[in-house]
């Protein structure tokens, strides 16, 4: 019999417990974290081998995730089906098992040569559950000498198993959250690229359809102009029609330019913004302040580009401004873009209000920004110009 006196055990437990609590309160699946817990459990109890198995509720089996030396090499390689061996029995019945002697005659015991079962005499196997009572794993403890596990032993082990269970559950939750986040990011990416694809399709359709027809009609009308000559009574009408069709051609080319995704990949955001500024320069003076080398994710660049595009379109269409400034700056945790004009301003609440048949410009900008986790703010008062601020974390 090898059983430390009760006061010795509680002294060991008191010495070791703060370490266990400290380690298990760290989050994340970190190398060696559970191995240290297993060592501390041995330290506190004076047992000789300790194994922690993780329960996989889908596969319904246990997989060893931590072991005291020299079994640490086997981590990840030992698996037990539900009901297999003592640990499998504990997983199935969610009850602790204590075997003091003669485990070979216990029908639940399964000899696993790698785990050196013949070296050990007594054992405890405990279910490891989460705070919500979900089975997270099984904790096994073995001693070389025969040992009656005391109530204090079991109390300590039960408390430790509860801490381990809470830790494993936190690990699961963190992992699930990260997976969700990655999924969401992929969704945003594919939604944005679907929008771009759709824009490109519409641009191609305008180009190959309406634009070609307009160009053909212009060609015919010019031919007709030549045929009838300048003195014919229809000459004035023909000239007007030619003018209208020229406007239509120009208009559809402009629409195509707006729809086509910019060459962000080739030029980068700063250059693409300058190109936008150039296009808008007929209507208003545009100044772009952006560093040449911006290290931003493609989706973020695209969102900023589209917001600047719509903001400039709005300035040209509504603001009667003299000047507009687009500035981009990046710091450690976010990129900030501001579009500021000195035009007539407007009532922001009204611009966002859902109106029948209203344009989607404002809401669309905000939606794109929020899709990538950013914040979109508009500030304006009638007569006082307008300012759009976009902040996107990166």
Among 362, 369, 390, 392, binds ligand ADP (CB under 6 A): 362
Judged by beta carbon, residue 252 or residue 309, the one nearer Mg ion is: 309
Give the CA angle between residues 366, 392, 298 to the nearest 5°.
Answer: 95
> Does 314 help bind Mg ion (rule: CB under 5 A)?
yes
Q: Give the C-alpha separation, 181 to 192, whole Å.
A: 16
Report the residue number, 1 or 354, with the smaller CB distance to Mg ion: 354
Pairing of strands 323-330, 285-289: parallel
Does 344 contact ligand ADP by CB under 6 A? yes
- One of 359, 367, 379, 384 touching ligand ADP (CB under 6 A): 359
SS3 394: coil
Number of residues that bind Mg ion (CB under 5 A): 2
Q: Which is nearer to ligand ADP, 151 or 355 (CB)?
A: 355
Say if CB 63 and CB 78 are below 8 A apart: yes
3-state secondary structure 248-272: HHHHHHHHHHHHCCCCHHHHHHHHH
Of the candidate spans 7-15, 266-274, 311-319, 325-333, the one that interacts with ligand ADP by CB under 6 A turns out to be 311-319
Q: Which of 286, 319, 328, 372 binds ligand ADP (CB under 6 A)?
A: 319
Q: Does 361 bind Mg ion (CB under 5 A)?
A: yes
The answer to whether residue 343 forms part of the interface with ligand ADP (CB under 6 A) is: yes
Q: Under rule CB under 6 A, which residues in 98-137 are in contact with ligand ADP?
A: none
Angle formed by the axes of helices 33-45 and 151-206, to 10°?
170
Binding of ligand ADP by 386 (CB under 6 A): yes
Q: Which residue is nearest to ligand ADP (CB)?
A: 361
Instruction: Give the list of residues 6+ apart from residue 347 with CB closer than 8 angstroms, or none.
Output: 380, 381, 382
Where are the extended beta strands (E) located within 6-114? 49-56, 61-67, 79-81, 97-99
Give Cα separations from 117 to 103, 114, 142, 293 (angstroms): 10, 8, 9, 63
Q: Does 46 bind Mg ion (CB under 5 A)?
A: no
**Residue of 19, 96, 361, 373 that binds ligand ADP (CB under 6 A):** 361
**Closer of 122 and 314 to Mg ion (Cβ):** 314
Choose among 301, 205, 213: nearest CA to 260.
205
Pick 299 or 314: Cβ nearer Mg ion: 314
- Burial (CB < 10 A; 0-12, 13-18, 19+), residue 136, is buried
Residue 83 or 361: which CB sits closer to Mg ion? Answer: 361
Half-sphere exposure of 131 (CA within 13 A, CB side): 7
Q: Which is nearer to Mg ion, 211 or 314 (CB)?
A: 314
Contacts with ligand ADP, residue ranges (CB under 6 A): 314-315, 317-319, 341, 343-346, 351, 359, 361-362, 386
Which residues contribute to the site for Mg ion (CB under 5 A)?
314, 361
């Amino acid at each position: 019999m090898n059983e430390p006196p009760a006061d010795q055990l509680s002294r060991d437990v008191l010495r070791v417990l703060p370490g266990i609590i400290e380690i298990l309160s760290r989050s994340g699946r970190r190398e060696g974290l559970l191995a240290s817990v297993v060592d501390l459990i041995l330290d506190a109890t004076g047992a000789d081998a300790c194994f922690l198995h993780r329960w996989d509720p889908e596969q319904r089996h246990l997989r060893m995730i931590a072991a005291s030396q020299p079994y640490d090499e086997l981590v990840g390689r030992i698996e037990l089906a539900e009901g297999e061996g003592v640990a499998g029995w504990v997983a199935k019945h969610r009850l602790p098992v204590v075997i003091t002697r003669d485990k070979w005659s216990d029908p639940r015991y399964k000899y696993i040569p790698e785990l050196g079962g013949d070296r050990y005499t007594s054992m405890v196997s405990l279910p490891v559950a989460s705070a919500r009572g979900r089975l997270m794993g099984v904790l096994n403890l073995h001693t070389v000498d025969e040992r009656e596990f005391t109530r204090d032993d079991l109390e300590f082990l039960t408390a430790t198993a509860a801490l381990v269970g809470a830790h494993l559950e936190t690990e699961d939750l963190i992992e699930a959250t990260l997976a969700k986040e990655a999924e969401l990011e992929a969704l945003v990416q594919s939604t944005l690229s679907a929008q771009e694809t759709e824009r490109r399709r519409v641009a191609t359709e305008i180009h190959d359809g309406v634009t070609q027809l307009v160009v053909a009609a212009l060609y015919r009308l010019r031919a007709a102009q030549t045929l009838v000559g300048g003195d014919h009574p229809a000459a004035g009408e023909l000239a007007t029609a030619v003018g209208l069709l020229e406007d239509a051609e120009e208009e559809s080319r402009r629409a195509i330019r707006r729809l086509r995704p910019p060459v962000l990949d080739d030029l980068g955001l700063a250059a693409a913004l300058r190109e936008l500024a150039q296009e808008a320069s007929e209507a208003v003076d545009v100044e772009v302040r952006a560093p040449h080398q911006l290290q931003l994710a493609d989706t973020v660049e695209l969102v900023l580009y589209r917001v600047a595009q719509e903001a400039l379109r709005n300035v040209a269409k509504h603001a009667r401004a003299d000047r507009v400034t687009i500035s981009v700056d990046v710091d450690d945790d976010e990129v900030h873009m501001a579009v500021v004009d000195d035009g007539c301003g407007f009532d922001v609440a009204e611009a966002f209000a859902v109106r029948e048949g209203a344009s989607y410009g404002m809401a669309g900008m905000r939606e794109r920004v929020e899709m990538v986790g950013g914040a979109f703010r508009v500030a304006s008062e009638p007569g006082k110009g307008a300012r759009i601020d976009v902040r996107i974390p990166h």
